[in-house]
Each structure stands twice: as C-alpha cells, then as structure tokens.
Chain A
Amino acid sequence: MREILMRPKVQIGAFILLVMIAISLCAPLIAPHDPTASSVMFLAPPGADNLLGTDELGRDILSRLIYGGQSSLIVGIGAAVMAAIIGIPVGLVAGYLGGRVDLFATQIIDIFIALPGLILALIITAMVGPTLFNLVLVLGFVSWPRIARLVRGQTLALRESVFVEASKAVGARADWIMLKHVWPNTMRIVAAQFALTVAYSIFTSASLSFLGLGMPPPTPDWGAMVRSGFDYLAMNPGMSLAPGAAVAATVFGFYLIGTSIK
C-alpha cells in the first residue's frame, strides 16, 4: 500500500483529487457569491467582484464553478459505488458457480459492454428523468458490466487454483495462503476499476449535461455551464473553458489513480 502511494502517477492524481474534493466540500466557505443568485449584471466580463465574470442570468461563474464539483463528484463516486454493488456480486456468483449461470451472465455482460455508454445513459435518463439520484443509478447501471467481468475473471482464477491445490492434497494451509495472496490482488484490481469507473461516470454525466440531460437548473453543473457558455465563447471564454477544464482535471485525476494501481 505504501509502495503504491510512492508512485508519481498516484501522487499527482491523488493531489488533484484532494484539491477537487476539498474545494467541493468547502464550497460554502470559499465561494464568493451564492451560485444560484441571479442578478441584473448578466454577461459581465471577469472583474474584481466576479473573477470569472457572470453568466447569462447574472450569476457568478466562479461560485458556480466551485459548487459544480459537488454534483459531479457525488454522481461520479455514487455511480461507481452503484456499479460495484451490482457488479461485484454478479461477478462472484458467475465465476464461482460456473456452468449455465456463468454462460447466461457472460452473455448479458457482453451485450451491455458492447453498447456505447453514453447512448445507453441517454436513453435511460430520458426515460426516468435527470435527477441526482437517477443519474447515479443510470451511470451505475451503465458501468456495472465491466466490474462484473473483472470480478468474474478473478473468481474463476481463484476457483481453479483452489481446486488444483485441493487435488494435490496439500491441505487447508495452501488454500488459506491462496486466499491471502489472491484476494488482496483482486481487491487491488477492483479498486483500480472503481477509480476508472468514477472517471468514466464524471465524463459521461458531464456529456449528458452538455447535451441538455443533466441536472435541472438552477443547480450548478459543469457540463451545463459549458453548454450555456458556448454561445458566448468569443465574449467570455472562461465561461465555458473553466468548467470544461474542471471536468477534464477531475477525470484525469481519477484516471491516473485507476491506471497506476496495478
């Protein structure tokens, strides 16, 4: 564990994430203005009072940027948790029981992995309506197959080695050692995939918001901010580029962590 923390990739990723999480948690303390308070000063350029300017309803962009992280992180992490809640048990059962159960599960997993996540999310979000909770569910549903597949693979490997050991009549000791070594490895792989799932969920939820299917206003939402800022790109590029960069940075952070825990 300590060795993992020493790697530069992990350190950079963790640093970015800690900054993001800290900002989101301390939003009420840091944000200069109320993110949902509209005013007559709309589309103001960046100035002393509004460091990034104001949007088309006169709201302070910087405050909205700071608060925007909250929903992104909740959706991202929530979705990954959801995916794990569904995926890990499915993978375990499929890998452990084998046979027809496994065949059936693999078919379903393969189908869902093949479908593009954004399309699936679009369809389902359109059906159930975009709220924070629904987004968590939808994105979790989109991501569970990958985790299930990973866990299934690990379970299969574990099952085979346990059987091999048993047949060698070495005794319970070997099995226990196998569990001690194989299980932590599995945990690490699942943790890596968890981080990647958070990255993917934030990526996808931002895309959904950009397309108009994100959290309803007035909740500050990075993807939606990018969309509304697009029309004013020439006037105040920060209006779009800042939230866009925020999404990119967060995704990048989780991605770094996910790819370096191996």
Chain B
Amino acid sequence: MLTVIGRRLVWAAPNLIFVTVLLFFSVAVFFGNPAALMLGQDATPQAVAELSHQMGFDRPVVTQYLSWMGHALSGDLGRSYTTHQTVAEMLMRSLPVTVELAVLSILLATVVSVGLSSLTVGQRVIGTFVTVLSIIGMTVPNFMLGMVAIFIFSVKLGWLPSVGWVPWDHGLLTHLQHLILPTITLAAYYFGAFTLVYRAEYQAVRERLFVRVARAKGLSEHRVSFRHILPNSILPVITYIGISLGQLMGGAVVTETLFSMPGIGQLFVTSILSRDYPVMLAIGMFIIVAVILMNLLADVVYTLINPQIRLN
C-alpha cells in the first residue's frame, strides 16, 4: 500500500513542476515587464530598466523561476503592488475564509445529496423531483442562484444578510448567519453533481447479490440500506469530494465575489483586474498546487478505504 502512495507521489512531482513552470512562463511572457507595469505608462525606459535590474526582472526567465520558487518555498511570496503588504500575509488572511466556505459547502452538499438519495431511490415521483433539483443545481450558474437567494431572503424577506463574511469577533451566531446563503449557493452545484453520481451507483449496488443476501439474513431494510448499500455506493462520491475540495481552493471565485467575502478567490480576481503581478502569480501557483495535492489526497484516501485495492 505504501508503494502505491509512494508511486503516486513520485508521479505528482513532475506534474507540479510542469504546471508551475508553465504558469510562471506564461505570466512572464504575457504580462511583460512588471517593472513597466509598476511605474506606469509615463515611465522613461531608463527608469524601467533600472527598476528591472533592481528587482531582477532582467534576468533570464529560468533564473527568475528558480529564484521565485526558492523564495516561495521559504515563505517569501513577494509584496503586493497595490496594497504593499506581503503576499504571504494576504494569503494567510484570506485562506481561512475560503477553507471555511469550501468545507461547509461540501459538507452540506454531501449530507443532503447522500441522505436524500438514499431515502428516495426507487420512489418515482420524489426521485424524479430530486433528480430535477440536482440538474438545476448543476446548470444554473452560481451567480444566478446566489442572486435569487439574495433577492428572496435578503431583499424581500430580510431574514439573512447579503454579505457573506463577518469576522469571528462579531460573535459565532452572527458569523454563521452570514455564511448561510453563500454556503447554500456554493453547495448547489456539488449537490447536483454528487446526487447524479451517487444515485447511479446506489441503483447499481442495490441490484448486487450481497444486498439480497443481507436481506435473507433477516436484516431490516434500514440496515441493508445504510450498512450495505450506502458504504459501497459512496466510494465514487468520496473521490469526487476530494477533487471538489481541491477545485474550491480557488474556484469559489464567483460566490466570494457575489457575497463580498475576502477569500482567496476574490483576492485572485482583484489582483488580476488590478494587474497586481506578485499576488496574481503567487495565488495562481497556490491554487494549482493545492488542486494537484488535493487530487493526490483523494486518490490516497480512496486506496485506503477500498479493501480490494488496499490489500493487493
């Protein structure tokens, strides 16, 4: 088993290097000389050249890459052009917001989709209703869902606030109250995806012989559902959860923007729009690395859970 994990790690390393190099080079090529960006359009070529040299932008790209990676691995991610804080600081501040939102959303999506599906598989009317709900969750863009949610619950009913995040020191309940709408909005897509996968798997597992054997032992339908069918159907969902968490590391972009949440996604978009090169590069790298590592983790977890793979 350790060899399986080891092998996956070994394969992940070249992937990481490849993608980070690609990102670095693309940013370097497309954004041109950051010194020019920093000094603005009226800067003289001389001033630009001087700043370039000072900041090391005139070195060959490969050297720049290695230097950046070296700094990054020791914690120095540069300094933002716009806010002049260290990027590391900004990252650390926005990371918890995103992680909290991501984890809560996935949790909600999983519980609702698995629970709802397990209880309604085989029932035609409710089952179809759940399927339709999941399709809506997947096809309606988050900004639309969020907008409708804000319109109904915030504007019309006034029950919930439309801003997604307040600091913890405002109180636990207030903090959670603000998180309700963004969590539901973000969870909708994953609810849809998980439901479709899970239902299909559940229906397939239900037909398998060991389920009939379990009934023949005299087990109640309830026990058969939750101890035999569910554990076997949930395996693909678990892998999907891992992948989704990875994607959400930077992918909650739309939801964070809609609900004005100071997470990584919003930081990323702002840095792009304001051409804040160091922040953009660092966050971009972070997101890509996080995605690849989370996928790896999901793989490993699946290997550990499934005895057929674990013990071979």
Contact = CB atoms under 8 A, between A and B. Distances in A.
B partners with A: yes
Interface of A: 107, 111, 114-116, 118-119, 122-124, 126-128, 199, 203, 206-207, 210-213, 223, 226-227, 230, 233-234, 237, 240-241, 244-245, 247-248, 251-252, 255
A122 B254 contact: no
Contacts, number: 109
B254 A118 contact: yes
A116 B247 contact: yes
A62 to B, nearest CB: 18
Contacts of B280: 126
22 contacts: A111-B18, A111-B19, A115-B288, A118-B253, A127-B26, A127-B27, A199-B139, A206-B141, A210-B258, A213-B272, A223-B143, A226-B144, A233-B151, A234-B155, A237-B155, A240-B147, A241-B147, A248-B139, A248-B140, A251-B140, A252-B139, A255-B139
Interface residues of B, number: 42
Contacts of B295: 114
Given A119-B284, A210-B141, 7 more contacts: A114-B246, A119-B253, A119-B268, A212-B269, A226-B143, A226-B147, A233-B151
B78 interface: no
A78 to B, nearest CB: 19
User: What does DSSP make chain A's interface, helix, strand, loop or mixed?
Assistant: helix
A207 B23 contact: no
A251 B253 contact: no
Contact of B143 (A115, A127, A207, A251): A207
A195 B275 CA distance: 35
B151 A255 contact: no
B36 interface: no
Given A111-B18, A111-B19, A116 B250 contact: yes
A107 B253 contact: no
A247 B140 CA distance: 8
Nearest to A112: B19
Contacts of A230: 147, 258
